[in-house]
Amino acid sequence: MTTRALALAAGALVVVTALSGCSTLTRDADQAPTTSVPTAVRTPPPGEQSLETFYQQELGWSRCGPAQCAELKVPLDYAAPGKGSIEVAVLRMRATKARQRIGSLVVNPGGPGASGVDYARAADFIVGKPVRQRFDIVGFDPRGVQRSAPVDCLPDPEMDTFLGQDPTPDDPAEEQAFAASAQALAQGCEHRSGALVAHISTVDTAKDLDILRAALGEDRLSYLGKSYGTFLGATYAGLFPKRVGRFVLDGVLPPDATSAEVAAGQAEGFERATRAWAADCVDAGDCPLGGSVDEVMAGMRSLLKRLDSRPVPITQGNVRELTEGWAATGIAEAMYDQGSWGTLTEALRDVVQKDDGTALMSLADQYARRNPDGRYTANLLEAFYAVSCLDNPDTADLKAYEQRAKDASVKAPTWGPLLAWGTLPCGEWPVRSGAKPHKISAQGSAPIVVIGTTRDPATPYEWSVRLRDQLANARLLTFEGDGHTAYARSHSSCLDGAVNDYYTKGKVPPDKLRC
C-alpha cells in the first residue's frame, strides 16, 4: 500500500476473498421448526418509535448458491428516518446441525470496507466446527460497502495513481502533491457518492446491526468481530449493552484511539511483525536482504528508498512499474498471515536479483482487491476512508504529519514514515460527523471476550488489553504468535476451544487465559 493504503491497514483486514464457502445448505424440510418471535425483540430502542417499521420488517430469504441472501432496509439518516432508506445485503449459511441450532451468529471481518457477505460465505473456515454446526453464520456488507449502497470516490485508473504514488514525501513540493491527492480522494467521495457520504459512520452501521438482530428474531446479538469489526462490536455494545449476547472481539481497534495513535501503534505493530518475518527469512538461509534481522530491516528500508526514485519493471498487468507505494502495499499484505512470508521472500528476491516487481505487485493487488488488468473487485479502499474519516477526523496541517513521521521513526524506522502520512485524507474530508474517539464501557452487558495476538501487525496486542480494561464486563484471551487475529486462524486448540465453548455452551473463558 501506499502511505494511504497502509493507513488503510489501520482498519485491519482479514483476507477472505480467496475462500469459497463449501458447505451445503440444509434442505428447508430438514430445518428445525420456526417459533414465533417475541414482540420485544422487534421493538425499537426507547424514544425511537419512528424506527418501528424498520424493526418489524421480515427478511425475504432467497437461495444464492449454498447460502441464503436477503436485503435489510435501514434508514439513510437515523436523524430523519422517514426521508429515505437504503438496502443492506445480508447472507446466511444455515447451521449444519439444524435441530441443535442455537441461533444466529453475525460476523464482520474488518476494514472498514471488507465484505461481511463474502466472509460469511466462507463459514466453514472462519469459525470452529462446533459453532458451524449450531449457529447460522450471518454476514452483511455494512452501508457504503460493496453490495450495500457502495460509496465511490475515484475511477479505477485514478485509484491506481493514488496507491502508487510516493507515500513518504521528502520535501515541501512532494508534501503538497500528497495533499493534493488526498484532497482529490476526499472531494471525489463527496462528488460521486452524494448524501450517502455523510451517513456511513460506525455508529450508523451499529444501529443497522441492531435492526438486523431484530429481523433475525434474536433477543440478543451473538457476534464475531475481527479487526475493525471489534470497533463496530464495541460501538454496538456501547449503544445497546442489554442486547449483547455471546460477543467475541478479536484483534482490537480501540474506540478511544486518535488517528495519530492508530498510525503510530500500527507502525510499531508492523515493525514487530516485519522483524519476525526477517528472522524467518534469515533462518531459512539466503535471505535476499541480508544475513541478520537488523541487516534485513535496513535492506528493506534501502530497497523502498531506491524504489522511490527508481521503480523496477513489472512484466504482467497494466501497472508497468513497482513504485515505493505499491511495494509497501505488497509487503504489508504478507504481514497479515505468516503463511505468506515465503511468498514475500521470493517476491523480494525477484526485485533485488532480477529487477522484476511482478510478484510483489501481485501481493499488492491482493491487498487492494484489484485484478492485474486494473479492475477493482470491491470498493474496500474507498469505503475505508469514507468510514474512517467520519469516525476519526484529522488535521490538514502538513507540519503535524512531518512531526508524526519523525516521532514514529524512533520505534518503527521502517513503517513509521509510511504510516504517519496515511490519515491525511481525513484532514481534507469534506463532511464532519462530530464523532470523537471515546472510551466504551458497555455497562450492563453480558461478558464480552476480547482476543489479542502478541505479534499482530495491524492491531497491536496492547490495544486488546486496552479495550478489555475499558469494558465493564470482559475477559481477555491472549494468543502468543504471529499474524492478524487468532480465532479459527491460528490453529490453536487452546484458544479455539475456549471460544467454541463460549459460543456453544455459554462457558465464559477465564480472564487472562494465554494460549
Clarify whether 445 is annotated catalytic: no
Instruction: Please write the tens of the pLDDT for every residue from 130-182.
Output: 999 999 999 999 999 999 999 999 999 999 999 999 999 999 999 999 999 99
The CA distance from 41 to 468, in Å, is: 28
Catalytic-labelled residue, pool 484, 490, 492, 496: 484
Domain count, the chain: 2
**Residue 28 confidence (pLDDT):** 34
Single out the catalytic residue among 227, 388, 445, 492: 227
Q: Which of 511, 412, 469 is nearest to 234 (CA)?
A: 469
- Interacting residues of 261 by C-beta distance below 8 A, sequence separation 6+: none
Could you give the CA distance from residue 253 to residue 225 in angstroms, rounded to a whole number? Answer: 11
The whole-number pLDDT of residue 312 equals 97
Q: Which residue has the higher pLDDT, 5 or 222?
A: 222
Asked whether residue 47 falls in the same domain as residue 187, the answer is no
Asked if the structure places residue 7 within a domain, the reply is no
Query: Is-above-0.85 flag for pTM?
Result: yes
pLDDT at 461 over 70: yes
**Each residue of 214-244: pLDDT tens digit?**
999 999 999 999 999 999 999 999 999 999 9
Q: Do 135 and 75 lie in a common domain?
A: yes
134 plus 108 within the same structural domain: yes
Please indicate, yes or no, whether residues 297 and 390 belong to a single structural domain of this protein. yes
Q: Are 136 and 123 in contact (CB under 8 A)?
A: no
In a domain, 347, yes or no: yes
121 plus 32 within the same structural domain:
yes
Cell 472462519 belongs to residue: 126
Domain assignment present for 209? no
pLDDT digits (tens, 9 = 90+) for 96-143: 999 999 999 999 999 999 999 999 999 999 999 999 999 999 999 999
Are 307 and 236 within one domain? no
Q: Which of 141, 208, 456, 482 is catalytic?
A: 456
Q: How far apart are CA 374 and CA 319, in angstroms?
A: 8
**Across 365-386, average pLDDT:** 94
Last residue of a domain, one of 379, 394, 427: 427
CATH number at residue 137: 3.40.50.1820
Q: Is residue 460 part of a domain?
A: yes
Compute, in degrees rounded to 10, the torsion defined by CA atoms 88, 89, 95, 96: 180
Q: Are 278 and 247 in the same domain?
A: no
292 confidence band (pLDDT: 50, 70, 90): very high
Residues 285, 369, single domain; the answer is yes
- When pLDDT is cut at 50, 70 and 90, the band that residue 21 belongs to is very low
- Is residue 227 part of the annotated active site? The answer reads yes
Is 210 part of the annotated catalytic residue set? no
Q: What confidence tens digit (pLDDT) does each residue in 381-398 have?
A: 999 999 999 999 999 999
The answer to whether the beta carbons of residues 150 and 49 sit under 8 Å apart is no
In a domain, 434, yes or no: no
Domain that holds residue 309: 153-196+259-427
Over pLDDT 90: what percentage of the chain?
Answer: 90
59, 268, 408 from 411: Cα distances, Å: 50, 6, 6
- pLDDT tops 50 at residue 30: no
